[in-house]
Amino acid sequence: MKVIGKGLSCASKDEVTGELVYIQTVEDVINLFDTAEGKICLIEDAGTTTLGPILSDLTGIVCTTGSGGSHLAIVSREFDLPCIMNIDIDIEDLTQLNGKTGKISTEEDNAGILYLLN
Amino acid sequence: MNLNKYLNYVNFITRSTPDPALMGGKGSNLVKLAQIGVKVPPGFIVNVNSYKMFLEKSEYGEQIKELLRIDYKAKDVLPLSSNIKDLILRSGIPEGVLNEVKLSFEQIHENFGSEISFAVRSSASIEDSSQFSFAGQADTFLYNKSFDDVIKSIKECWASLFSPGAMLYLLQMRKKGIELSLLDIEMAVVVQEMINSHISSTLFTVNVLNNDKNSMYIISTWGLGETLANNIIVPDSLIIDRKDFKIMKEEIGKKKKKSIQNPERSGTIMVENDPFSRKSCSLNERQIQQICKLGLEIEDAFGSPQDIELAIENDIVYILQSRPITTLKI
């Protein structure tokens, strides 16, 4: 298990594990619509996110920009979902993480940590 | 003259009575904010009667309603959303509604000068509801200059009810056993004087990050506020003591870009912040104190912790929106 990123834990402080999926477009969300359960979504600074509709099925959210006041963080709190905003990930091409297993946990002072399990 | 009495499709933000069913959550809360005397940009609400009349009487109304009745699946969302939007944008607005919007537009120009632009924001009837948040699903259109720009943006707001994201939301609610048809949602539209925000902030009157009711949480950045709700930038973050408004924690965000008025036409553009601005906190201590004080007044008036969007232009603080925080675990 390896730490690959650290950011701001903005919603649930539960520790969760799930398959990492890189999301960029509304088409990605549509493709994930019926299989979102158990997934941790990775989002870059893509502007308006369309992830809202599937949030209640997801296991966690990780976003490279934003803050605790972003829409994504607000709805993550509504669904009591672990959500790390403004995460610094050590890997340049996040698509490499597609299909791998990740873990989210919260440390002191609302630090959200993303681990890679395999 | 209080025009409100004579209007069916429009309500002015001042001198109206809050009514979420008629004005949507955002519009109704703006009316309440104006009532309690905080500074809200002047403007009016094109209420849900306008939207209903539009579906009833516009030339493509029947075709639009036909599309809204379709029992769709996730894979149908993109083409269906685009067809609905296309029909809404092509349709004219019924005369009764158009006349009242025109009258209100002219009234604001008369009172506040003809050089002002307008911000047009959606205020859906199920937006910001406590059970499933539609917050941020619907759209905002900034810097509308002419009457035609405003009309186009009102139609864009109506169309945003059927954006791919909103349509997927409804499908998801169906999965959870909540049956809601596209025909059940209604939309009001808020039209207000555009504030040329030098600074945009959101204040949570309690700390939503860790549910601490003794502190408040502020995010803030340079320029217009659209960069805050969307994940475009990393804003400054402040944790403030609710008792004395002292800063408990300050983190300067990267704030690489800011959103400003498009100098050439309606709408906005993104530009880079200069290195000094990136490194400086977008709020000074005096502004923080002022915002926090306002926040507690608003919280008091609404009777629960609030998530408040603010804009600062020439050191004047305007409240753009206030909604309840529904996620606290205290």
pTM of the model: 0.91
Model pLDDT, residue B225: 93
Cβ atoms of B125 and B151 closer than 8 Å: no
pLDDT above 50: residue B134: yes
Q: What is the DSSP letter of A62?
A: E
Return the amino acid letter for A12: S
A69:B171 CB<8 A = no
Place B330 in a pLDDT band, splitting at 50, 70 and 90: low
The span from the CA of B101 to the CA of B96, in Å, is: 9
Residue-wise pLDDT tens digits, B21-70: 999 989 999 999 999 999 999 999 999 999 999 999 988 888 888 888 88
Of B202, B232, B326, the CB nearest to A47: B232
Model pLDDT, residue B136: 47
Q: What angle do CA B209, B224, B166 make, to 5 degrees?
A: 65
A52:B165 CB<8 A = yes
Domains defined along chain B, listed by start: 3-193 (3.30.1490.20), 199-324 (3.30.470.20)
pLDDT above 90: residue B130: no
Of B78, B133, B204, the CB nearest to A69: B204
Cβ atoms of B28 and B121 closer than 8 Å: no
**How much of chain B, in percent, has pLDDT values that exceed 70?**
94
Q: Please check whether residue A88 touches B, CB under 8 A.
A: no
| Nearest partner of A53 among A27, A86, A30, A73, judged by Cα | A30
Q: Name the token pair of B66.
A: 């036909």
Residue-wise pLDDT tens digits, A51-103: 878 888 999 999 999 999 888 888 889 889 999 999 999 998 999 999 999 99
Place of tokens 């019924």: B94
Model pLDDT, residue A48: 52
The span from the CA of B194 to the CA of B118, in Å, is: 5
A69:B165 CB<8 A = no
Q: Which helix (H) or strand (E) holds B111?
A: helix B95-112
Residue-wise pLDDT tens digits, A2-54: 999 999 999 999 999 999 999 988 888 899 999 999 999 999 865 555 787 88
Of B135, B209, B228, the CB nearest to A10: B209
**Average pLDDT across chain B, whole number:** 91
Higher-confidence position of B2 and A29: A29
Q: What angle do CA B303, B307, B313 make, to 5 degrees?
A: 115
Residue-wise pLDDT tens digits, B147-179: 999 999 999 999 988 888 888 888 888 888 887
> From the centroid of its chain, how far is CA B75?
29
Q: Name the token pair of B73.
A: 């699946």
- Would residue A110 be called left, alpha or beta, if left means φ above 0 and alpha means ψ between -120 and 50 degrees? left
The span from the CA of B214 to the CA of B224, in Å, is: 29
Radius of gyration of the CA atoms of chain B, in A: 20
pLDDT above 60: residue B276: yes
Residue-wise pLDDT tens digits, B186-214: 889 999 999 999 999 999 999 999 889 99
Q: Write out chain A residues lying below 8 Å of B164, CB-based.
A: 26, 30, 50
Model pLDDT, residue B128: 47
Long-range Cβ pairs for the range B140-143 (8 Å, 24+): B140/B226, B141/B266, B141/B267, B142/B117, B142/B194, B142/B224, B142/B226, B142/B261, B142/B267, B142/B268, B143/B117, B143/B118, B143/B119, B143/B194, B143/B261, B143/B262, B143/B266, B143/B267, B143/B268
Domains defined along chain A, listed by start: 2-111 (3.50.30.10)
A52:B169 CB<8 A = yes
